[in-house]
Amino acid sequence: MFPKVVKQIAIIGPRETHPEWAASSSFRKIPSNNITQTTKNKNKMDNTVEQTLMHHLTAFGNNNLDEILKDYTDESVIMTPTGSIKGLTEIREFFKDFFAVIPTGSSFTMKQKTIVGNVAYIFWASESSSTKILAGTDTFVFEDNKIKYHTVADYRM
């Protein structure tokens, strides 16, 4: 059973940039009991992971393919329920397809964000004019400030 969650929603605007998200976004306004860290004081690796994750989420919210690809390398792998995707060319196509499902202007609710060492986990929901995602989950493994492995799955209506 999932923990009780206080909803925080971000409305992703048309091609807007969100520099303030790093400090005040709905991506970060998660109930404190749903945020887990290895220690109360973040270590350097957690800060780097947090920065890279926030860059990724901001680029995703802006549907910005060029920015999102900066978080990956040709060796990066995304694993989904339908198979694995490797390399920047395939990752670009994956996000092009995903942006069609969650376009700019969609609502996004971050339900949980957990960072332990070089691994980040998020649990979320989203709704656009064409699709309602009741539950989505991503796990990221970071190496050298890049996403090396990324799992993603969602339940759509």
Residue 71: CATH number of its domain: 3.10.450.50
Q: What is the overall mean pLDDT for the chain?
A: 79
Give tens-digit pLDDT for 38-87.
434 445 556 889 999 999 999 999 999 999 999 999 999 999 999 999 99
Structural domain of residue 57, as residue ranges? 9-14+22-156
The answer as to whether 1 is a domain residue is: no
Position 93 in a domain: yes
Q: Is residue 47 included in any domain, yes or no? A: yes
Q: What's the pLDDT at 45?
A: 53
pTM over 0.75: no
The count of domains in the chain is: 1
Looking at the domain assignment, is residue 3 inside a domain? Answer: no
Over residues 81-138, the pLDDT tens digits come to 999 999 999 999 999 999 999 998 899 999 999 999 999 999 999 999 989 999 999 9
List C-alpha distances in Å: 23 to 27, 57, 80, 130, 140: 10, 13, 30, 30, 21
Judge whether 135 lies within some domain: yes
C-alpha separations of 101 from 76, 90, 107, 146 in Å: 22, 17, 12, 25
Domain presence at residue 34: yes
Task: State how far the Cα of 95 lies from the Cα of 87, in Å rounded to an integer.
Answer: 12
